[in-house]
Amino acid sequence: MTDFPTTAAAVDARWLEGKLRAAGAIGDARITDLTFVPIGTGQVGDTARFTITYDRPGAGPETVAGKFPSADATSRSTAAMFGLYRKEVSFYRELAPNIDVRTAQAYGSELDENGCDFILLFEDLGPCRGGNQLTGCGIEDARHGIRQAAALHAPTWNAPWLADTEWIQPRPGTQEQMLALYPQAQALFRERYADTLESELMAICEQLNDLAGVYFTRTSPDYTVTHGDYRLDNMLFDVRGGSDPIAVVDWQTTGVGCPMLDVGYFMGCGIGSALRRPHEEELLDLYCAEMTRRGVPLTRDQIWDRYRLGALHGVSTAVFSAAFVVRTDRGDQNFLSMARNSCELCLDHDSIGALKRLTETVQC
């Protein structure tokens, strides 16, 4: 048993009061009333907004957000297997204060020893517009997303301390697990979406499955911290009533790898083909300009082949997630959207051909 709440319903006024006081968010004020409502559409974690009444006006934040393990056993098991809860808690404890990415200020966190139970308390970023994978976004939101990617990647570009940061590394055996489970995931994905995903796009999924050994063992000559699930559902726009244009949330899949994993993912399954195709060159040039401005000179030619490979991350994530997180109607629509848009990018730029050309000295 844990000694901290692991569901929104289990949070009481005294426990929350202690966390806010320790974070310096309140003084000696007392919480006199506390209510919550679920928010967000996450499938690996559950999120709620708490509304707080104090014994005096203006004593502290009127609302805070809390994140908890998923109530679904399958999602919790997947999260524990890949250390997702540990990664997010560690991100907010150790990394978030030292990078330029706009994300929520954390008021407190708890994590059990086995990584299965946790709680994170954040500042409430509302009012804001939640990014929506299914409805897409406009070009200005896409530009904000690209700028935030550079704000994550540039400060951590080839940072030597990453090799000594245990929590951000893949858990031992993760690569072997992915290789063992991926064919099963593709079989389920094929069965679920064979009648709805266009045949030429399903062929990309099948080809990636055939090349899984190459794909999951590739390495990169340059590395950064990566978000790992860099798409619209994990972004908030016009946060705090417009005081900031964007904030990036859901850091459970934080890792170390080729930064084009995030960029290819965002441009493919993130913003979708209808927006990507007319603006692709502009957005890639913007990324390079932001990286250069932040001290990492890059050009579109330098990143192009890695970008083509990075797009495959959207395919593999859609396939794997469809099999190993809780199934919902929105989730089915989401994974289909992710796969379709990522496969279209891969088809446009022959990402499978780029993967086939990789040798033992892989450069993603």
Predicted confidence at residue 1, as pLDDT, reads: 57
Confidence of residue 360 (pLDDT cuts 50, 70, 90): very low
Using the 3D structure, point to which of 92, 123, 154 is the last residue of a domain: 123
Assess if residue 99 is contained within a domain.
yes
Q: Over 90: is that where the pLDDT of 73 sits?
A: no
User: Are 100 and 190 in a shared domain?
Assistant: no
**pLDDT confidence of 331, banded at 50, 70, 90?**
confident
Number of domains in the chain: 2
* DSSP-derived 3-state class of residue 5: coil
Angle at the Cα of 24 (from 20 to 27), degrees rounded to 5? 80
In angstroms, rounded to a whole number, what is the distance separating the alpha carbons of residues 342 and 110?
Answer: 35
pLDDT surpassing 80 at residue 363: no
Kind and range of the H or E run holding 63: strand 63-69
User: Are the C-beta atoms of residues 16 and 34 closer than 8 Å to each other?
Assistant: yes
Which CATH number characterizes residue 15's domain?
3.30.200.20
Answer whether residue 363 is part of any domain: no
Predicted local distance difference test score (pLDDT) of residue 79: 83
Residue 67 predicted with pLDDT over 60:
yes
In this prediction, residue 297 carries a pLDDT of: 98
What are the distances in angstroms from CA 334 to CA 11, 253, 258, 322? Answer: 31, 17, 25, 9
Return the closest-CA partner of residue 88 out of 121, 124, 132.
121
Dihedral angle sign, alpha carbons of residues 41, 194, 207, 171: positive
- Reported as a single tens digit per residue, the pLDDT across 78-97 is 788 788 999 999 999 999 98
Residue at 361 is within a domain: no
Residue 284 has pLDDT above 90, yes or no: yes
What was the pLDDT predicted at 50? 98
Question: Do 138 and 23 lie in a common domain?
Answer: no
CB 354 within 8 A of CB 309: yes
Question: For residue 2, is it within any domain?
Answer: no
282 in the same domain as 146: yes
- 3 occurs within a structural domain: no
Helix, coil or strand: residue 18: helix
* Radius of gyration for the chain, computed over Cα atoms and rounded to the nearest angstrom: 20
User: Which of residues 99, 123, 147 is at a domain's end?
Assistant: 123
Does 193 lie in the same domain as 51?
no
| Residue range 146-200, pLDDT digits in tens | 999 999 999 999 999 999 999 999 888 888 989 999 999 999 999 999 999 999 9
Mean pLDDT is lowest, of 20-34, 52-66, 107-121, for: 107-121
Residue 271: pLDDT over 60? yes
pLDDT of 45 reads 83
What pLDDT was estimated at residue 74?
77
Q: What is the pLDDT of residues 292-314, one digit of tens each?
A: 999 999 999 999 999 999 999 99
Share of the chain above pLDDT 70, in %: 97
179 CB neighbour count, 10 Å cutoff: 14
C-alpha dist (Å) from residue 63 to 33, 126, 271, 274: 12, 9, 30, 37
Domain enclosing residue 312, as ranges: 129-356
One domain for residues 240 and 315: yes
pLDDT of residue 361: 47
Distance, C-alpha 170 to centroid of its chain: 15
Q: Is the pLDDT of residue 41 over 90?
A: no
Q: Could you tell me if 137 and 100 lie in one domain? A: no
Per-residue model confidence (pLDDT) at position 172: 85
Q: What is the pLDDT of residue 362?
A: 45
**pLDDT value for 60:** 96
pLDDT above 90: percentage of residues in the chain: 82
We report the CATH number of the domain holding residue 149 as: 3.90.1200
- Please indicate, yes or no, if residue 1 is contained in any of the structural domains: no
Q: Are residues 140 and 119 in the same domain?
A: no
Mean pLDDT computed over 237-266: 96
Instruction: Give the pLDDT of residue 42.
Output: 65
Q: What is the pLDDT of residue 174?
A: 86
Q: Give the residue from 123, 149, 172 where a domain finishes.
A: 123
Whether residues 102 and 198 share a domain: the answer is no
Round the average pLDDT of the chain to a whole number and report it: 93
Q: Where are the alpha helices (DSSP H) in 248-328?
A: 260-265, 273-293, 300-310, 312-324
